[in-house]
Amino acid sequence: MVNIACPEYLRRVLVTHWRSYDRSDIEQAAFGELLGEGLLFVPNDRWGDMRRVYQSGFSDRNILAFRHALVAWSEAFAEGLAQSAGPVDVQEAVQRLTFRAIGHFTLGIDFEDAGRLAELQATTGAGRLGCRHYGELWSRLLEHTQIRFALGPLQWWRVLKTEAVRAFEQGHALLLGMVDAAIEARLSGARAEDFGGSGDFQDLLCLMVGQKGQRYSRRELRQQAMTFLFAGHDTTTNLIAFCLYLLAERPAALARARADAAITDGPKPFLRCCLLETLRLYPSAPLRLRTACQEDVFA
């Protein structure tokens, strides 16, 4: 095993010579039960075709169409922090915000819908393993998945149904049911739920079941959706939470960031620098694994 930290070599492995480095079996073992074989874990011979299906979803035009909803949710998030009378768990608050955003971006549904929240709370209960929102549920599912992976291939959870195992199974089934319902509705011709964005916006599910994605089975659609919930939620949550933490420790930088944010149109250079510096100090994805499938020589 070789650890690579040099930006030049990372670019070689991940960008210019990516065909020589396939996805890792270790990552698949760690996340496969929860996510299946989505875009992050699919072998190289299928990765390019899958990526092209979703490429337009990340175009400047589509992101700008989604921007209206993001601005409204972010303003409500900031107002909630300002009105808090005591300490705030910023990580949890950001989890909730980002899961709502990635739910709309991926599936076109609102995970903050009152009916969905009531179903979540009824399913998980009010005890120590209960969840108040879907961002919290997602974090619990990931945490339990990593515990299973760390304990090796014994798969004790299939026999020993502890309270944590039952909570994982119930929460996982609930989330999969939400994803499946969104897929079935879209396959039946239903439109995405209204979220106050531009009518030009296309969520990723729209691309999955559209002309480019017609070849995907329902199982593959589910795995792709779960993968994007994972990739979009956790990276964004960590970035925002750590950026707020760093700014809170630096009042002068926080004042500059607020001034930048007040600009209604045009670039926000200082905010961009804040985000990039946060990623340097606290990378959202600090480690990725690859398996060399062809001989390669680093100069």
Domains of the chain: 7-292 (1.10.630.10)
Tell me the percentage of the chain whose pLDDT exceeds 70. 95
How much is the pLDDT for 211? 61
How much is the pLDDT for 94? 92
- Alpha-carbon distance of 285 to 293, in angstroms, equals 23
- Tokens 């991926």 locate to 106
Asked whether the beta carbons of 275 and 236 are under 8 A apart, the reply is: no
Helical residues (DSSP H) of the chain, grouped into ranges: 7-11, 25-35, 44-54, 60-83, 90-107, 114-124, 134-150, 163-187, 204-209, 218-248, 251-261, 269-281
- Alpha-carbon distance of 247 to 69, in angstroms, equals 24
In which residue ranges of the chain is pLDDT below 70? 1, 152-153, 194-199, 211-214, 299
How much is the pLDDT for 129? 81
How much is the pLDDT for 296? 84
Q: What predicted TM-score, i.e. pTM, was given to this entire model? A: 0.85
The conformation of residue 24, written as its DSSP 8-state character, comes to P
Asked whether the beta carbons of 280 and 10 are under 8 A apart, the reply is: no
